[in-house]
């Protein structure tokens, strides 16, 4: 028996919108809706998906993030214009000491270092100098966009990455990774717990022990305590990232295939309310019921598989 060998579905903004109209009985074979109606449906679709962010939809949207700490920093901005947090960074060390005003450094390993990437160099005073790579990287000699503002010792830390993260919606499993590679979990605090700390700039050598995250708007705000007194470690966490907005008809969904049906049904339920004269009320009620059932079913599937331990209460 011949099979297709294909296990993925292709769905774009346009195909899902057209299916939603079909589910409502608003289009027949070979017909379409007015372009403005398609634009309105696209607006509804994006609004619906952003609302689903609040439901924690999408295990595939949980990303591992690396935040490079700064000396004495009590908080970090997480987002496109924020501090240095990324999904894919690399770390290496300086091979040969460099002097102030040098425009190049020599590193042990240039893997993951490329032109225009952000690069942080540990200076002699223990802080990071951030700049970008200037030029094609073909050897372990790295040209910098800005000259060094202080001397750099041999074996100093160098980190590099391409892109800052989007604003996380939630943060979980935060931990501190020291220079030896040992990871220690951080305690998650509420806003009131963090604000109750009288000295928020207490500095220690082995990194923070607790954190509080405020999602804010463009950039989220991550508060840590105590603060770092060096830049040798990394703050790691799992971030719930926002869904991508579909800006064109041909954009595909950042969803697993199992969600395609639920998206079409729930979009139909949403836009059906905009056509009270054309959509039969009993039919819209049926669409809403099926949409909710599909969303609940997929939400149950889209959860981490964990163990639950129960024990009798003693005494």
Range name among 50-54, 252-256, 286-290 with the lowest pLDDT average:
252-256
Q: How would residue 309 be classed by pLDDT, with cut points 50, 70 and 90?
A: low
Residues 44, 67 within the same domain: no
Assess whether pLDDT exceeds 90 at residue 8: no
- Give percent of the chain with pLDDT exceeding 90: 80
- Furthest C-alpha separation in the chain: 77
Structural domain for 155, as ranges: 88-162
Q: How many CB atoms lie within 10 A of CB 265?
A: 22
Residues 158, 104 within the same domain: yes
Residues 237, 172 within the same domain: yes
In three-state secondary structure terms, 176 is: strand
Residues 107, 155 within the same domain: yes
Assess whether pLDDT exceeds 80 at residue 308: no
- pLDDT digits 0-9 by tens, 28-72: 777 889 999 999 999 999 999 999 999 888 888 999 999 999 999
Where a domain ends, among 162, 177, 203? 162
Residues 237, 213 within the same domain: yes
Residues 68, 203 within the same domain: yes
Quick check: is 315 in a domain?
Answer: no
Calculate the alpha carbon distances from 248 to 39, 257, 292 in Å: 10, 20, 27
Residues 74, 174 within the same domain: yes
Where a domain ends, among 117, 143, 162? 162
The alpha helices in the chain, defined as continuous H runs, are 13-23, 35-52, 191-195, 260-272, 281-301
Assess whether pLDDT exceeds 90 at residue 302: no
Quick check: is 3 in a domain?
Answer: no
Question: Is the pTM above the cut of 0.85?
Answer: yes
Residues 67, 183 within the same domain: yes
Residues 72, 198 within the same domain: yes
Quick check: is 312 in a domain?
Answer: no
Label residue 48 exposed, middle or buried (CB < 10 Å: 0-12, 13-18, 19+). Answer: middle
Please report the pLDDT score of residue 59 as a whole number: 87
Q: What angle do CA 215, 305, 170 make, to 5 degrees?
A: 0
Please report the pLDDT score of residue 311 as a whole number: 66
Assess whether pLDDT exceeds 70 at residue 314: no
Q: How many CB atoms lie within 10 A of CB 160?
A: 24
Residues 231, 178 within the same domain: yes
Residues 66, 200 within the same domain: yes
Assess whether pLDDT exceeds 80 at residue 251: yes
Assess whether pLDDT exceeds 90 at residue 1: no
Residues 96, 142 within the same domain: yes
Quick check: is 206 in a domain?
Answer: yes
Quick check: is 233 in a domain?
Answer: yes
H/E element, 142:
strand 141-143
Q: What angle do CA 267, 273, 275 make, to 5 degrees?
A: 105
- pLDDT digits 0-9 by tens, 155-204: 999 999 999 999 999 999 999 999 889 999 999 999 999 999 999 999 98
Q: What does pLDDT average to over the chain? A: 93
Quick check: is 214 in a domain?
Answer: yes
- The more confidently predicted of residues 169 and 307 is 169
- pLDDT digits 0-9 by tens, 122-153: 999 999 999 999 998 889 999 999 999 999 99
In the chain, how many domains are there?
3
- The more confidently predicted of residues 185 and 315 is 185
- The more confidently predicted of residues 141 and 304 is 141
CATH assignment of the domain containing 121? 2.40.30
- pLDDT digits 0-9 by tens, 190-230: 999 999 999 999 998 889 999 999 999 999 999 999 999 99
Quick check: is 197 in a domain?
Answer: yes
Quick check: is 7 in a domain?
Answer: no
């Amino acid at each position: 028996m011949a099979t297709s060998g294909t296990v993925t579905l292709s769905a774009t903004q346009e195909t899902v919108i057209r299916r939603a109209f079909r589910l409502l009985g608003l289009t027949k074979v070979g017909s379409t809706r007015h372009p403005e109606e398609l634009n309105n449906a696209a607006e509804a679709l994006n609004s619906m998906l952003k609302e689903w962010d609040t439901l924690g939809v999408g295990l595939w949207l949980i990303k591992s993030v690396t935040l490079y700490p700064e000396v004495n920093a009590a908080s970090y901005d997480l987002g496109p214009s924020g501090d240095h947090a990324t999904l894919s960074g690399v770390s290496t060390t300086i091979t040969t000491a460099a002097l102030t005003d040098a425009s190049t450094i020599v590193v042990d390993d240039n893997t993951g270092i490329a032109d225009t990437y952000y690069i942080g160099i540990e200076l002699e005073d223990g802080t990071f100098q951030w700049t970008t790579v200037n030029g094609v990287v073909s050897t372990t000699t790295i040209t910098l966009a800005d000259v060094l503002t202080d001397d750099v010792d041999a074996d100093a830390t160098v980190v590099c990455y391409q892109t800052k993260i989007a604003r996380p919606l939630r943060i979980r499993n935060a931990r501190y990774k020291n220079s030896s590679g040992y990871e220690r979990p951080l305690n998650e605090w509420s806003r009131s717990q963090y604000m109750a700390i009288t000295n928020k700039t207490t500095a220690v050598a082995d990194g923070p022990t607790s954190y509080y995250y405020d999602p804010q708007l463009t950039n989220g705000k991550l508060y840590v305590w105590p603060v770092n007194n060096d830049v040798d470690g990394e703050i790691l966490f799992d971030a719930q990232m926002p869904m991508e907005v579909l800006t064109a008809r041909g954009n595909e969904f950042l969803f697993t295939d199992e969600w395609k049906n639920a998206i079409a049904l729930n979009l139909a339920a949403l836009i059906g309310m905009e056509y009270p004269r054309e959509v039969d009320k009993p039919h819209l009620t049926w669409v809403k019921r099926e949409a909710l059932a599909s969303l609940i079913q997929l939400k149950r599937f889209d959860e981490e598989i964990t163990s639950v331990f129960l024990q009798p209460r003693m005494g």
